[in-house]
Amino acid sequence: MDAFYAAVEVLDNPELFMKPVIVGGGRERGVVSAASYEARRFGIHSAMPIAEAIRRCPDGVFIPPRIQRYREVSAQIFSIFQRYTPLVEPLSLDEAFLDVSGSTMLFGTAEEIAVRIKKEVSREIGLTASAGVASSKLVAKIASDLEKPDGLTIVAPGGEEDFLGPLPVSKLWGVGPAARHRLNLMGITTIGGLRALSRDFLESTFGKQGTYYYSACRGRDFRPVEPERETQSMGHEETFSRDLTDPTQLHRELLSLAVRVAERLRRDRVCGKVLTLKVKYGDFKQITRSTTLSQATDDSAEILRQALILLRKTEAGKKPVRLLGISCAGFEAENSAQLHLFAVDQGVGKRKKINQAMDLIKERHGATSILPATLLGG
């Protein structure tokens, strides 16, 4: 999708049409999640600090993200994809791979299918999409980005090397700033230039990544489209308007994160066994601390307890904290976890009932209808 979050905001509020719309977090410390093409003319892009976006475009329209709304529109878009193939692999709310190799007898060539999907997304939802059609995921992804907005790029089988050759090496997945800098020092700026290097040289210089570069610059990518790919982790993080040092504030923020992560686990009917705490200090240094629980959980109290233990293994409080995050992995179905022998005595059953009651209240009356007292204003 083209500038998806910003495009949804314009869709819902036509008065924003042709205005520089920037979707992102708080003005002091947040980052840009999406920028309309009008905003991009000012050099604004995703992951840019909101403060810098304001400096570049003080008259821009700055809007906080509405993730639930974006999920609703995303579901409508994916339902259109599913009309043409069951082999749909989501990359995010606004991007997916489609394997249409088994659909051409019904719907025409891959190019014709791409055209039909783009028209249906435009007609039924009111948004534009850009598509790349190719024989591999890697090349299709690169092609989809080249003619935005509302673009369509076709790379015929056998034409991968000619297509990739003139493009900058940064277009390849896995070529980050450090690798790009090393390649530039060798005089390699394009994918075609990278292709001139031998496999032995790439492997000796970049290790296993060099093997990938050798295949990628030739458009070789044999990964299948995987529609059933499972979520590997669930988490939330928060960047603060001011660096935090007070232990009470840090505890409060961890509680808020633990509640949100636990609610998401219960909504997906899973429990997490691996808990990770993310801390970014005021100097932008970032660390993570992880633990594996003896019993998988979806309970905010247990998640908070473990997060506080992990927090003691950091310099939080001694050093100002800019960001905190909690994530869970190692999922088990909610009913598959082994029960404690003395679950009732330990309060596990009581906590489960409390969580179920809170979830029901929030479902009926909204996300802020019931909260731990610590999270109430004041």
Handedness of CA 342, 345, 349, 352 (dihedral sign): negative
Tokens of 19: 């205005």
Q: Which residues does 304 contact at the CB level (< 8 Å), separation at least 6?
A: 254, 255, 258
CA separation for the pair 272, 329 (Å, rounded): 5
Yes or no: say if 304 and 355 are a contact pair by the CB < 8 Å rule. no
Looking up tokens 């036509």 gives 14
CA separation for the pair 47, 22 (Å, rounded): 11
Yes or no: say if 57 and 42 are a contact pair by the CB < 8 Å rule. yes
Residue 287, H or E segment:
strand 286-297
Q: Which ranges in 208-334 belong to alpha helices (H)?
A: 208-216, 247-267, 300-311
Yes or no: say if 165 and 190 are a contact pair by the CB < 8 Å rule. yes
For the chain, how long is the longest CA-to-CA vector? 69
Tokens of 299: 């309970």
Handedness of CA 29, 4, 96, 86 (dihedral sign): positive
The residue annotated as part of the active site, out of 52, 72, 95, 203, is 95
Q: Is 226 assigned a catalytic role?
A: no
Q: Which ranges in 87-145 belong to alpha helices (H)?
A: 104-107, 110-125, 137-144
DSSP symbol at 265 = H
3-state class of 145 per DSSP? coil
- In degrees, to the nearest 5, what angle opens at C-alpha 312 toward C-alphas 261 and 344? 55
- Annotated catalytic residues are 95
